[in-house]
Amino acid sequence: MSDTKPNLFEGVEAKPGAAKPDPIIIADGITRQFGGLTAVDVKHFEAQRHAITALIGPNGAGKSTFFNLLTSFDVANSGSAQFNAVEPGKPDSDVRTIDLGGMSSANVARAGMVRTFQLTKALNRMSVIENMRLGAQHQSGENVLNAMVAPLWRKREKEITEQAEVLLERFKLLDKQDDYAGSLSGGQRKLLEMARALMSKPSMIMLDEPMAGVNPALTESLLDHIVGLKEDGVTVLFVEHDMHMVRRISDWVVVMAEGKIIAEGDPHEVMANQAVQDAYLGSHHDTNLFEER
Amino acid sequence: MDINDILQIIVSPTTAAFALAAIGLNFHYGLTGLLNMGQAGFMLIGMYGYAITISQGGSMWLGILISFVGAILFALFLGWPTLRLRGDYLAIVTIAAAEMVRLIGRSQWLKEWTGGNTGLRGNQFKGPFENLSPFQPARIVEIGPFSFHTTIWWLMLVGWVAVAVAAALFWRLNKSPWGRVLKGVREDEDAVRSLGKSVYSFKMQALIIGGVLGAAGGVIWAHGNAVQPDSMGRVTTFWIWTMLLLGGAATVLGPILGSVLFWAMFVFIKQLAPLVLPNLAPQQIEPLALAFVGIGLILLIVFRPQGILGDKREISLNV
Amino acid sequence: MRNADHAGPKARHFPLRIALLSTLTVAAITVISAVPAQASQLATEVADTAGGTETNLLLQNLLNGITFGLLLALASVGLSLIYATTGLSNFAHGEQVTFGAAAAFAAVTAGAPILLAAVFAVLAGGASGWLQDTVLWSQLRKRRIAPMQQMIVSIGLALAAVNLLQIWMGAQRVRLSTSIEVRYEFGPVSIGPQTMISMAVCIVALGAVGFFLQRTRLGRATRAVSDNPALASATGISVNRVIRIVWIMSGSLAALGGVLLALYENTSDFSAGARILLLMFAAVTLGGLGHPFGALVGSLVVGIVAEVSTVFLPTPDLKYAIVMGMLILTLLVRPQGLLGRKERVG
Q: Which amino acid is at A23?
A: P
DSSP secondary-structure letter at B26? I
Class assignment of domain A14-111+234-281? Answer: alpha beta
Residue A3, pLDDT > 80, answer no
Question: Of B270, B299, B275, which is closest to residue B287 (Cα–Cα)?
Answer: B270
DSSP string, chain A: -GGG---TTTT---STT---SSEEEEEEEEEEEETTEEEEEEEEEEEETTSEEEEE-STTSSHHHHHHHHTTSS--SEEEEEEEE--TTS-TT--EEEE-TT--HHHHHHTTEEE--SS----TTSBHHHHHHHT-S--GGGSHHHHTSGGGTHHHHHHHHHHHHHHHHHTT-GGGTTSBGGGS-HHHHHHHHHHHHHTT--SEEEEESTTTT--HHHHHHHHHHHHHHHHTT-EEEEE-S-HHHHHHH-SEEEEEETTEEEEEE-HHHHTT-HHHHHHHHTT-TTS-TT---
Instruction: Provide the pLDDT for residue C236.
Output: 84
> How far is residue A34's CA from residue A268's CA, in Å, rounded to a whole number?
34
Q: Is residue B174 part of a domain?
A: yes
For residue A80, give every residue at least 6 positions away whose Cβ sits within 8 Å of its Cβ, in sequence order, or none. A27, A28, A29, A30, A99, A100, A101
Separation CA B319–CA B29 (nearest Å):
9
Higher pLDDT, A213 or A113: A113
The Cα of B134 is separated from the nearest Cα of chain C by a number of Å equal to 41
Could you write out the DSSP letters of every residue in C87-146? ----TTHHHHHHHHHHHHHHHHHTT--HHHHHHHHHHHHHHHHHHHIIIIIHHHHHTT--
Q: Which pLDDT band holds residue B71 (cuts at 50, 70, 90)?
A: very high
| Cβ count near B28 (within 10 Å) | 29
User: CA-CA distances (angstroms) from residue B277 to B266, B284, C166?
Assistant: 16, 11, 17
Instruction: Give the mean pLDDT of chain A.
Output: 87
Residue B159 belongs to a domain: yes
CB atoms within 10 A of CB A181: 26
pLDDT digits (tens, 9 = 90+) for C226-244: 888 888 888 888 899 999 9
Q: From the list A109, A144, A150, which residue is nearest B196 (CB)?
A: A109
Domain C12-333 carries which CATH code? 1.10.3470
Q: Tell me whether residues A117 and B315 touch, CB distance under 8 A.
A: no
Element at B142 (helix H, strand E): strand B140-143
List the single residue in B with minimal CA-CA distance to C153: B298
Task: Chain B: give the shortest CA distance to residue C285, in Å.
Answer: 9
Q: Where are the alpha helices (DSSP H) in B248-284?
A: 254-276
d(CA C166, CA B112): 33
Q: B29 vs B91, B165, B187, B319, CA distance in Å? A: 11, 19, 12, 9
Contact C315 B109 (CB under 8 A): yes
Distance from CA of B317 to the nearest CA of C (A): 7
Torsion of CA B42, B43, B47, B48, to 10 degrees: -40
Cβ contact B195–A109 (<8 Å): yes
Domain holding B90, by residue range, is 13-234
Domain assignment present for residue B319? The answer is: no
Mutate to test the interface with B, among C328, C329, C334, C342 (most CBs of B within 10 A): C328
Nearest Cα to Cα of residue A20 among A252, A287, A277: A252
| Torsion C310-C313-C319-C325 (CA) sign | negative
Q: CB under 8 Å to B84, separation ≥6 — which residues?
A: B200, C346
Say if residues C77 and C253 touch (Cβ distance below 8 Å). Answer: yes
3-state DSSP call for residue B309? coil
Rounded Cα–Cα distance for residues A177 and C165 (Å):
53
Chains A and B: how many Cβ contacts under 8 Å?
Answer: 103
Element (H, E) at B3: helix B3-11
The Cα of B272 is separated from the nearest Cα of chain A by a number of Å equal to: 40
Task: Give yes or no for B285 touching C (CB within 8 A).
Answer: no
Handedness of CA C50, C54, C56, C59 (dihedral sign): positive
Q: Which helix (H) or strand (E) holds C191?
A: strand C189-191
Q: What whole-number percentage of chain C has pLDDT above 70?
A: 81
Q: Count of CB contacts below 8 A, B vs C? A: 147
**Per-residue pLDDT tens for A12-37?**
888 888 888 889 999 999 999 887 78
How far B42 CA sits from the closest chain C CA (Å)? 16
Residue B143, classified by CB atoms within 10 Å of its CB into exposed (0-12), middle (13-18) or buried (19+), is exposed
Specify if B264 maps to a domain.
no
Kindly report, residue by residue over B283-300, the tens digit of the pLDDT.
888 899 999 989 999 998
Give percent of chain A above pLDDT 90.
50
Would you call C178 exposed, middle or buried from its count of C-beta atoms within 10 A (0-12, 13-18, 19+)? Answer: exposed
Chain B residues inside the 8 Å CB shell of C327: 92-93, 96
Determine, for residues C152 and B95 on separate chains, whether the beta-carbon distance falls below 8 Å. Answer: no
Q: Is residue C346 very low, low, confident or very high in pLDDT (cuts 50, 70, 90)?
A: very low
pLDDT of residue C262: 92
Binned at pLDDT 50, 70 and 90, residue A96 comes out as confident
Could you tell me how many residues make up chain A?
Answer: 293
> Position A67: which residue type?
F
What residues in A contact B197, CB-CB < 8 Å?
106, 134, 142
State the pLDDT confidence band at C6, using cuts at 50, 70 and 90: very low
pLDDT of the residue at B291: 93
Number of Cβ within 10 Å of residue A158's Cβ equals 10
Q: How remote is the C-alpha of A81 from its chain's centroid?
A: 16
Give the burial class of C303: count Cβ atoms within 10 A of its Cβ; 0-12 exposed, 13-18 middle, 19 or more buried.
buried
Give the pLDDT confidence of C203-218 residue by residue, as tens digits: 999 999 989 988 899 9
Cβ contact, residue pair B85, C335, below 8 Å: yes
* Residues of B in Cβ contact (< 8 Å) with C136: 298
Asked if the model's pLDDT at residue C10 lies above 90, the reply is: no
Kindly give the pairing relationship between strand A260-265 and strand A252-257.
antiparallel
Total domains in chain B come to: 1
CB contacts under 8 A, C 142-171 vs B, are 143, 145-149, 151-153, 155-164, 166-167, 170-171
How many C-beta atoms lie closer than 10 Å to residue B287's C-beta? 21
Question: Cβ of C324 and B99 within 8 Å?
Answer: yes
Distance CA B297, CA C56 (A): 49
Residue in chain C nearest B78 by alpha carbon: C328
Cβ proximity of B66 and B53 under 8 Å: yes
pLDDT in tens, C278-332: 999 999 988 887 676 788 999 999 999 999 998 888 888 899 999 999 888 887 7
Query: Lowest-confidence range among B186-190, B269-273, B308-312, C80-84?
Result: B308-312
Residues of A with CB under 8 A from a CB of B: 71, 73, 104-107, 109-110, 114-117, 121-126, 130, 133-135, 137, 139, 141-144, 146-148, 150, 153, 157, 180, 182, 193, 196-197, 199-200
Residue A220 banded pLDDT, cuts 50, 70, 90: confident
The dihedral formed by the CA atoms of B304, B308, B313 and B315, expressed in degrees to the nearest 10: -80
Put simply, the answer to whether B183 touches A123 (Cβ < 8 Å) is yes
* pLDDT confidence of residue A292: 44
Q: Which of A213-227, B210-224, C232-246 has the lowest mean pLDDT?
A: A213-227
Q: Is the dihedral of CA C270, C271, C277, C280 positive or negative?
A: negative
Q: How does pLDDT run across A254-283, given as a tens digit for each residue?
A: 999 889 999 999 988 888 888 887 877 665
Determine the distance in angstroms separating the CA of A197 from the nearest CA of chain B, rounded to an integer.
7
Residue C293 identity (one-letter amino acid): F
Closest residue in A to B200 (Cα–Cα):
A106
Burial grade of A5 (CB within 10 A; 0-12, 13-18, 19 or more): middle
Is-contact B264 B10, C-beta < 8 A?
yes
Within 13 Å of residue A291, how many CA atoms lie on the same side as its CB? 4
Q: Which of B211, B221, B206 is nearest to B37 (CA)?
A: B211
Instruction: Answer yes or no: are the C-beta atoms of C320 and C309 closer than 8 Å.
Output: no
Distances (CA, A) of C166 to B282, C172, C263: 13, 9, 19
Summarize the confidence of residues A212-220 as an average pLDDT.
Answer: 81
Instruction: Quote the pLDDT of residue C42.
Output: 39
In chain A, where the domains are located: 14-111+234-281
Asked whether the beta carbons of residue A106 and residue B197 sit closer than 8 angstroms, the reply is yes
pLDDT on residue C22: 52
Question: Contact B178/A147, CB-based, under 8 Å?
Answer: yes
pLDDT at residue B315 is higher than 60: no
Write the residue in A115, A142, A180 that is nearest to B194 by C-beta: A115
Question: Of A175-189, C6-20, C46-60, C296-310, which gets the smallest average pLDDT?
Answer: C6-20
User: Do β-strands A23-34 and A78-85 pair in parallel, antiparallel, or remain unpaired?
Assistant: antiparallel
Q: What is the mean pLDDT of residues B140-149?
A: 89
pLDDT digits (tens, 9 = 90+) for C25-73: 545 444 444 433 333 343 444 444 444 445 688 888 999 999 999 999 9
A195 neighbors A171 (Cβ within 8 angstroms): yes
Cβ–Cβ of B193/A116 closer than 8 Å?
no
The one-letter amino acid at C238: S
Question: Strand C184-186 vs strand C189-191: parallel, antiparallel, or unpaired?
Answer: antiparallel
Neighbours of C163 (CB within 10 A): 24
Flag whether residue B91 sits within 8 Å of chain C, measured between CB atoms. yes
Residues C109-149: tens digit of each pLDDT: 999 898 999 999 999 999 999 999 999 999 999 988 888 88
Confidence grade of residue A290 (pLDDT, cut at 50, 70, 90): low
Rounded Cα distance, A147 and A78, in Å: 40
Q: What is the pLDDT of residue C21?
A: 52
Question: Looking at the complex, does the CB of residue C89 fall below 8 Å from at least one CB of chain B?
Answer: yes
